[in-house]
Amino acid sequence: MRLTVAGVSVEIDRQPIVSEVDLVVEPGEVVGLIGPNGSGKTTLLRAVYRALRPVSGVISLGADDVWSISARQAARRRALVTQHDGAPVEFSVMEVVAMGRTPHKGLLDRDGHEDRSIVQDALERVDMEWAANRLFSTLSGGERQRALVARALAQQAPLLVLDEPTNHLDVRAQLDLLELLRDLRLTTLAALHDLDQAASYCHRLAVLKRGALVATGAPLDVLTPAFLADVFGVSAHIGDHPLTGRPHISIAPLRRQP
């Protein structure tokens, strides 16, 4: 499903946070949203998943404006994984994943056989079936994120929205999660913190600076040293990764001219 963001501006308490953003995520594409802290990544994503209403512009899932369809209908088209999800202590992993069925169930519907097999499949796809009956709160950070990806899978939505999903994870868990997300081959819009990870896992990057979209394109076309110095205020070197041979971004503080 195509995600179209057209001329979208978002304000919070009358403060403009995102202004006039145009962005398209084509079906099957993984687009990374990057930018410094406070550049509006989370705000733009919140508008995409319908937690904030833009003051102007249109966000469409497929052919429909997200605000012209119900919250439930929107949730059948896009699923969400955020950086911190405070599932309280009392829910089991299975129950958390089963919440992904919420937008598919009417008020009187019970969880049927089909729902259970969808939940089971989702757990297997993220290698978490062993944890089905554990309490969510007893999982490690990396395991929690995998369970939340499983919840998004149980939602069976063609578009996946991720807000810094690797935050607070150790390096191994970060790489595992990104590989899992890549292997899912879903249409994805992900705000990411780590530029190198964004460059290696995304087909395209979209860069926000002070709420405006300043660049979109293939990672290595966008992330030039001059651009990184301008947007992030760092000096960067793009070389070959000594282990993988893929392009690798090394970052250092920007040297001040004497």
Partner 1 sequence: MVSGPATAVLLGGLVVALAVAIVVGIAVGTVDLSVTGVWDVIWAHVTGRTSTVNPLNDEIVWTIRTPRVLLAAVVGAGLSIAGTSLQALVRNPLADPYILGVAAGASVGASLALAYGSAATFGLGVSGAAFAGALISLVLVFLLAQRSGGLGGTRLVLAGVALGYLCTAATSYVELQASQSELVGIMFWLMGSVAGATWGSLGIPTLAIVLCSVWLLLQARNLNALMTGDDAAAGLGVDVHRLRLGLLFVSSLLTATVVAVAGGIGFVGLMIPHMARFIVGGDHRKVLPVAALMGALFLVVVDIGARTVDKPNDLPLGIFTAAVGVPFFLWLLRRRPGGAA
Q: Can you list the positions of beta strands (E) in 3-136?
A: 3-12, 15-25, 30-34, 56-61, 64-65, 78-81
Identify which of 158, 169, 154, 181 has the alpha carbon closest to the alpha carbon of residue 74: 158
Contact 184, 127 (CB under 8 A): no
Pick 81 or 178: Cβ nearer partner 1: 81
What's the min distance (Å) between Cβ of 142 and partner 1? 17
Shortest distance, position 58 Cβ to partner 1, whole Å? 18
Q: Is the Cβ–Cβ distance between 76 and 103 less than 8 Å? A: yes
Q: Does 68 bind partner 1 (CB under 8 A)?
A: no
Name every residue whose Cβ is closer than 8 Å to that of residue 157 and which is 6 or more positions away in sequence.
75, 76, 77, 78, 79
Residue 103 CB partners (closer than 8 Å, separation 6+): 71, 72, 73, 75, 76, 155
Contact segment (CB under 8 A) with partner 1 among 98-106, 118-126, 195-203, 213-221 equals 98-106
The nearest distance, CB 115 to partner 1, in angstroms, is 11
Of 4 and 83, CB closest to partner 1: 83
Positive or negative CA dihedral for 38, 233, 177, 62?
positive
- Residue selected from 15, 37, 133, 244 as contacting partner 1 according to rule CB under 8 A: 133
Pick between residue 144 and residue 204 the one whose CB is nearest to partner 1: 144
Q: Is 85 in the site for partner 1 (CB under 8 A)?
A: yes
Q: Is residue 137 close enough to count as binding partner 1 by CB under 8 A?
A: yes
Q: Out of 6, 24, 99, 214, which residue is the one contacting partner 1 (CB under 8 A)?
A: 99
| Contact between 246 and partner 1 per CB under 8 A | no
The Cα–Cα gap between 33 and 175 comes to 18
Which parts of this chain interact with partner 1 (CB under 8 A)?
Answer: 13, 46, 49-51, 70-76, 78-80, 82, 85-92, 95-96, 99-100, 102-103, 105, 107-108, 133, 135, 137-138, 155, 161
